[in-house]
Copies of this chain bind each other. A is one copy, B any other.
């Protein structure tokens, strides 16, 4: 018994040892719970029951840590959506997977813009372009198609990340959209007539469905141009 307890404790000690993986996991927890502003090296060290300096033994700096955390989240998404359907459906599934991941981890949205050679970006490009190549067409058209889809997805991701910064963590999207709609409606009708008209649709829409409508729009364009 005493022996087992000691052994268990030793194993726990080993588990408790600092590592790049544990640091990234703790960072993800903090980011999910409190948003981008909550992740400080001091907060991270406190949660890991260590000193701030210890973090830097395993991770170059804070920005690399954020990028690595985003890579981790996106890698899970891409692995999860590896389905055996047709290219159109696969692209929709990838896009939705990213959308949902950013809904759950809004801070990932802003990380997707950093360094276009990070795994997070490469995984998205690779999976989208793999599916698009199945649709056929000349190389130049495919390149345009991939980047159009990618930038649309990044645009929505970045917007959702920014929106999350404006509300308390955990607030649902539709409540926020209603408040944006109210502000749109309050604008000067002479200056922003179309924006005011769009306010009603913004309030009532499901932005997840609408995101997918945008993907479909681009896919329709890809097929029209091909």
Contact = CB atoms under 8 A, between A and B. Distances in A.
Nearest to A131: B194
Contacts of A117: 180, 183-184, 187
A163 to B, nearest CB: 8
A129 B221 contact: no
A218 interface: yes
State the majority secondary structure of interface residues on A.
helix
Contacts of A195: 122, 125-126, 129
A94 to B, nearest CB: 13
- Number of contact residues on A: which range applies? 35 or more
A214 B180 contact: no
Copies in the complex: 2
A58 interface: no
The 3 closest A-B pairs by CB, nearest first: A221-B221, A155-B155, A151-B155
22 contacts: A113-B158, A113-B159, A114-B162, A116-B163, A116-B180, A122-B195, A125-B194, A125-B195, A129-B197, A143-B202, A145-B217, A147-B214, A150-B155, A151-B152, A152-B152, A154-B155, A154-B159, A158-B158, A219-B221, A220-B221, A220-B224, A221-B224
Interface of A: 113-117, 122, 125-126, 129-130, 133, 139-140, 143-148, 150-156, 158-159, 161-163, 166, 180, 183-184, 187, 191-195, 197-198, 201-202, 205, 210, 213-214, 216-225
